[in-house]
Structure 1
Amino acid sequence: MEQTVYPKCLRNCNNNLQLGNVYLRYYGRDIPNLITLYEIEKPLFYAYTEIKNISNEIANKELSDYIIKGLFTLAIAHFETMLSDFSKKILQFYPQKLSLFKKENITLSVNNLNDGRLISQIIENEMNRIFYSNLNEQIKILQKISGIQIDSNILDIDRLIEIKETRNLLLHNNLIVNDLYLDKTKSVKRAHEKGDAINIDKEYFEKSILHILRVLENIIDQVREKYKHNSLIKLLVKVWRFTFKNEIIKIEDFCTLNYIEDTIDGPFNFPTFLSSSEKSKPSVNSVLKI
């Protein structure tokens, strides 16, 4: 699976626009949504790349049990972090979806209120609360706020739960089955009696990582399909129209829209006849930080 090709004009941004933070800073001030596929795909593809590299590492070498267990733990951590980071990223662009969650008491500091990070903190608090819940609930939340539906046959949630609970046994109980493992695992169990020992050998590792990679590929495919129209050009056009309310002032008259590379080309001839209100609003460059 290849990463979506970033427009060359983003090379100075380290492929990280941080437009979610910009949008939250001005949320409620009638600015256009600044979402792009490039930004929301980033936590997904980062996790996929790291887990793929881990899979390749163990496939090509004879490793000790300690290294296998360490890499297994790292791979699961990348997957769990992806679930949280991707959900946070979506909420940055659609903070109204916070209404989907049960509200808990949220502690807000004066500094957060003063520097515009109020919504960011709410999102952080809500995600931290949710992602301490069970894996099934985490997957449901991800699907709900992103608007995708992971293929249930590929997801195989019971298998994912067993993989996660094996990691928990490794870290907390030396791979000795306890009540938590027996209670949380469903149709997929590798032991049925408390006190039994399970193992993480190379075969189990490879099958588990392959399953996680397939789930990630399915998520990425669906995100790309759902958000494929959130291109950089579409964003630039929205910001242009926000800046210049007069429909006579068209972006196409001042630059060339390059749909193939998803960017704008020069020469650039920006208008000199701006109204006072247009001059007072953020420019395209100041909003996008590029």
Structure 2
Amino acid sequence: MPNDVLVDQVKDTHQRLLRSVNDALIFLKQVRPLLVIAQEKYANDPSKVKKSPYIVPSIYPGENSVHRSPEQLKAVYQYYNDTGFFQAFLVNMVSEFESFLWDVSYQFLNHNPARFNAKGAPTCAPILMSDLIGEKTKEELIDGVLQTLVDGVFYQKPADYLAYIGGLIGVDLSASVEDFCEIAATRDLVVHNKLIANTVYLSKAKDKSRGALGDTLVIDEAYYEDSIKHIKKIAASINEHIRGKYSTEFEKI
């Protein structure tokens, strides 16, 4: 059954994701050359070991400063230019993509609440008697259940929540699952294990693993941009499927 409201909601959600991802990449491409200039300035500073003070937050009253030499600042700029920015931006991008998936799942269920028990759906908590006899309307109760359901979906592994979303909406995402699972597993290593491959990473990334147990992985410009392509591919598949199935006037972009 056509549903242009759902089509427009998913389209807007998709466009927000694309704008955010593209803006982040534009920012990186513009700021990194500036870091190179600053890095060269510190490299050519005649007082390589003389340290200057820099104000930083403190848990104690008053200002607190740390001291860095031009040589140390050069290393800081090089780290962020080579990998530090890409690590931080990858973590943010994966989070934004998961938010996109959450929003689309909720939007779809809001229009198709009977699909709440699609294969892979987590068990929902029962509705409280206090809610039933309280002031909440039927629509508010359903909305609360759906939000709790979607929250539960994303406590699962990436492979499981992608499988659920694909089954819920009716789109085949299998070709992209392994690539995204590796990206999500790399994100987890940034957050939890200093990018050192562990057994959890290997179990999630499987054949897409970029290293053996104990290896330190690299997140550079090439990996970051490749990750963008994989995420865009999944998001586009979802958006195009919704548009193709539910739009009253399907137009290929």
Q: Normalised by the size of structure 1, how large is the TM-score?
A: 0.61
Q: Distance in 2 between matches of 1:109 and 1:205?
A: 49
Which residue does 2:86 correspond to in 1? 68
CA spacing shift, 1:106–1:67, aligned 2, 3 Å: farther
Using a 3 Å threshold, how does the CA distance of structure 1 residues 106 and 56 change in structure 2: closer, same or farther?
Answer: farther
* Unaligned residue ranges in structure 2 (runs of 5+): 36-79
Q: Is the deviation greater in 169-178 or in 44-53?
A: 44-53
Question: Equivalent residue for 1:173?
Answer: 193
Q: Distance in 2 between matches of 1:34 and 1:214?
A: 23
1:125 Cα deviation after fit = 1.2
How has the CA–CA distance of structure 1 residues 38 and 104 changed in structure 2, closer, same or farther, with 3 Å as cutoff? closer
Residue matched to 1:52? 22
Displacement after TM superposition at 1:179 (Å)? 1.6
Structure 1 residues 160 and 149: CA distance shift in structure 2, 3 A? same
- 1:109, CA displacement in angstroms? 7.1
2:135 to 114, 117, 133: 114
Task: Kindly indicate whether the alpha-carbon contact (under 8 Å) linking 1:166 and 1:175 is maintained by their aligned counterparts in 2.
Answer: yes
Q: Note the C-alpha offset of 1:198.
A: 0.9
Structure 1 residue runs of 5 or longer lacking an equivalent are 1-32, 232-290
1:214 is displaced (CA, Å) by 2.4
- Note the 1:159-238 alignment, pairs <5 A: 159-193=179-213, 195-229=214-248
Distance of 1:34 and 1:227 partners within structure 2: 7
Q: For the residues of structure 2 that align with 1:81 and 1:228, how far apart are their CA atoms? A: 23
- Say if 1:48 and 1:34 are closer, same or farther in 2 by CA, change over 3 A: closer
Q: How does 1:271-290 map to 2 (within 5 A)?
A: none
Residues 184 and 108 of structure 1: is their aligned pair in 2 closer, same or farther, counting only changes over 3 Å?
Answer: same
Aligned pairs for 1:261-276 within 5 A: none
2:160 partner SS: helix
Q: Give me the CA root mean square deviation.
A: 2.5
**For residues 210 and 172 of structure 2, what CA distance do their matches in structure 1 show?**
28
Amino acid of the structure 1 residue aligned with 2:235: L
Distance 1:226 1:130 in 2: 24
Give 3-state SS (helix, strand or coil) of 2:223's partner. helix
Could you say what secondary structure the match of 2:206 adopts?
A: coil
Compute the displacement of 1:199 (Å): 1.7
AA partner of residue 52 (structure 1): N
Q: How does 1:92-131 map to 2 (within 5 A)?
A: 92-100=110-118, 101-106=121-126, 108=128, 110-111=130-131, 114-116=135-137, 117-131=140-154
Give the length in aligned residue pairs: 196
**Distance apart, 1:34 and its partner CA:** 8.6
Give the TM-score, by structure 2 length. Answer: 0.69
- Residue-by-residue CA offset, 1:188-209 (whole Å, 9 max, x unaligned): 011122x221121122111111
- Which residue pairs with 2:163 in the alignment? 140
* Distance (Å, rounded) in 1 between the aligned partners of 2:15 and 2:164: 19
Letter of the aligned partner of 2:186 in structure 1? T
The amino acid that maps onto 1:114 is: E
Q: Which amino acid aligns with 1:46?
A: R
1:77 aligns with 2:47: no
Q: Secondary structure at the match of 2:126?
A: coil
Structure 1 or 2: more helix by fraction: 2
Question: For residues 126 and 29 of structure 2, what CA distance do their matches in structure 1 show?
Answer: 45
Structure 2: distance between partners of 1:147 and 1:54? 31
1:219-254 residue CA offsets vs partner (Å, 9 max, x unmatched):
2222221121189xxxxxxxxxxxxxxxxxxxxxxx
Q: How far apart are the structure 1 equivalents of 2:249 and 2:153?
A: 27
Taking the aligned partners of 1:94 and 1:136, their CA distance within structure 2 comes to 23
Contact 1:35/1:230, CA 8 A, preserved across alignment: no
Distance 1:222 1:60, change over 3 A: farther
Equivalent position amino acid for 1:211 in 2:
H
Give the Cα separation in 1 of the matches to 2:88 and 2:107: 28
